[in-house]
């Protein structure tokens, strides 16, 4: 008694089933995903910038 489930993916934001190859289920989820990606990217850039400043600070303070 196996039920055949058609090939599908799940929305990366809300988890609903979507067509195979799609990443989001709606424009609202696509916008939320884009905002999350932008936010994560900005956090990454800030972290790298702070790490570089820390390295420069220590390099100049022990000279």
Per-residue pLDDT of 4-27, as tens digits, reads 888 899 999 999 999 999 999 999
pTM score: 0.74
Tell me, what's the pLDDT at 1?
Answer: 58
Q: How confident is the model over 38-49, as pLDDT tens digits? A: 999 999 999 999
Helix (H, G, I), strand (E, B), or coil: what is residue 8? strand
Residue 13's CB is within 10 A of a number of other CB atoms, namely 17
User: Which pair of structure tokens corresponds to residue 25?
Assistant: 């289920």
For the cut 70, the answer to whether the pLDDT of residue 29 exceeds it is yes
Beta bridge partners of 7: none
Domain range annotation of the chain = 8-61
- SS (HEC) of 16-60: CEEECCCCCCCHHHHHHHHHHHHHHHHHHHHHHHHHHHHHHHHHH
d(CA 12, CA 17): 10
């Amino acid at each position: 008694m196996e039920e055949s489930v058609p090939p599908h993916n799940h929305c990366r934001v809300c988890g609903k089933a979507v067509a195979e190859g799609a990443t989001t289920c709606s424009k609202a989820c696509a916008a939320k995903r884009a905002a999350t990606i932008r936010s994560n990217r900005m956090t990454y850039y800030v972290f790298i910038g702070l790490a570089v400043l820390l390295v420069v600070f220590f390099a100049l303070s022990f000279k």
